[in-house]
Amino acid sequence: MLEFLRQLGSSGMQVAATFGRAGILCWQALWGLPDWRAGPGLLVRQVYFVGVYSLIIIIVSGTLIGMVLALQGYTVLVRFGAEAALGQFVSLTLLRELGPVVAALLFVGRAGSAVTAEIGLMKATDQLAAMEMIGVDPMKRIIRPRLWAGIICMPVLAQVFNMVAIWGAVAVGVNWLGVDAGSFWSNMQQVVEFREDVLNGVIKAFAFGVVITWIAVFEGYDAEPTSEGISTATTRTVVYSSLAVLAMDFLLTAVMFGVH
Amino acid sequence: MQQRKIEIAVGVFILLGLAAMAFLALQVSGLSLNAAKRDTYRISASFNNVAGLTARAQVQVAGVQVGHVTGIHIDPLTVRAVVDMAIDEEVDYLTSDSIASIKTAGVLGEQYISIAPGAEPDILGEGGVIYDTQSAMVLEDLIGKFMNSLGNKP
């Protein structure tokens, strides 16, 4: 019994310590903008690696998800003769939920894991320690640009995802299944509100970006400096960020679209 | 050279994001850049029952959209629903004895307001009020009446 309590206490303290270390890292990293004396190059380079490289997977999966949504929505709606409502069905689903969430999950797999592995390897090969020795703050040089790059990229990727997904839905719904283009767009425009739907989606994507990159950067920085440590850290990044995204999505949805 | 390429790619990336944002704002949510410039005037009408009419619903004359509902609130004195509408400036033929009625597009469609102009010479202007209104048809009430009339038969 006492042994059980001891284990519970020790694991609880470990969890608290981990959260504390993550908070300190975030505080130190976000304390300022990326070091401008080193030029904006660091941030630009990270946006390139984190954002531009994720673009292909975002565009391809966005198109496919839009096409699937249109196909499934059409088969249900056509039974009620309401296939003209396909536009609003697809656009609301995407803007409010699927766009930010699926883009975030893809972003976790594509960019979050890479950031963790990169920082973890830097730590394992003592590059971070070497930087400190020559007087370069790894927090400024390594952590901060990656954190900001993730925060900038996530909303952009989510909006691109929404755009191509709606185009995919147009391709299937209008061009293939023959929903009238006019009623498709006008139904969509009548229902979708800019502030309520589009901006809330952007806020969601922004929040996901903060959490994903925070977890990714922290897990890399906190990884055990061995090859196993890096692999567990990468796995943890993917698992924790995915769960965090889904849980936060529920909370944000409840706050944004819930019953007031 | 390498750095330059990266910067160009990032520029394209950011631009793509902005383009997506603009597409979602203009094409998907129908936000119009010159919406503010389009001149409208406000009129209102009070109904016994608006039954699911919402803001942004269409206002039609002879089936053509001439404006939209801007807000719905309850007048605490009469306990009737007051519907505020914005009507396009060029629609200057709504007479003071116009009839405003709430209609439904299809059986399950959304509610809209249909205005039938009358014959009075007075034209509604800014702040005008339509007194002659027909409330929404509530399907449950109709069914209830129908059932009652069935039950009353000897």
* DSSP-assigned letters across all residues of A162-207: HHHHHHHHHIIIIIIS---HHHHHHHHHHH--IIIIIIHHHHHHHH
pLDDT at residue B32 in the model = 63
Closest Cα of chain B to A122: distance in Å?
22
Which of B2, B7, B13, B59 is most worth mutating to test chain A (most A CB atoms within 10 A of its CB)? Answer: B13
B132: left (phi over 0), alpha (psi -120 to 50) or beta: beta
- Give the nearest partner residue to B13 out of A55, A82, A95, using CB atoms: A55
Closest Cα of chain B to A119: distance in Å?
21
Convert the pLDDT of each residue in A232-242 to its tens digit.
999 999 999 99
pLDDT at residue A32 in the model = 63
Residue A34 in this model has a pLDDT that exceeds 80:
no
pLDDT at residue A39 in the model = 60
Coil/strand/helix, residue A82: coil
Comparison of pLDDT for A259 and A112, the residue scoring more: A112
Q: How far apart are CA A67 and CA A172, in angstroms?
A: 6
Backbone angles phi, psi at A104, to 5 degrees: -65, -40
For residue A248, name the pLDDT band (cuts at 50, 70, 90): very high
**Residues in chain A closer than 8 A to B23 (CB atoms):** 163
**Residues in chain A closer than 8 A to B20 (CB atoms):** 156, 159-160, 162-163
For residue A215, name the pLDDT band (cuts at 50, 70, 90): very high
- Give me the interface pTM, i.e. the ipTM: 0.75
Average pLDDT, stretch A16-42? 76
DSSP letter (8 states) at residue A78: G
For residue A2, name the pLDDT band (cuts at 50, 70, 90): confident
The mean pLDDT values, 10 residues at a time, for chain B of 154 residues are 81 88 81 62 87 81 85 88 88 85 75 86 84 80 84 65
H helix intervals, chain A: 2-30, 41-50, 55-77, 86-92, 99-107, 113-124, 127-133, 138, 144-170, 181-191, 200-221, 227-257
pLDDT at residue A111 in the model = 92
- Give the nearest partner residue to A162 out of B3, B14, B20, using CB atoms: B20
Contact (CB<8Å) A193/B29: yes
Provide CB contacts within 8 A for A34, sequence distance 6+: A40, A42, A43, A140, A144, A145, A148
Convert the pLDDT of each residue in A157-170 to its tens digit.
999 999 999 999 99
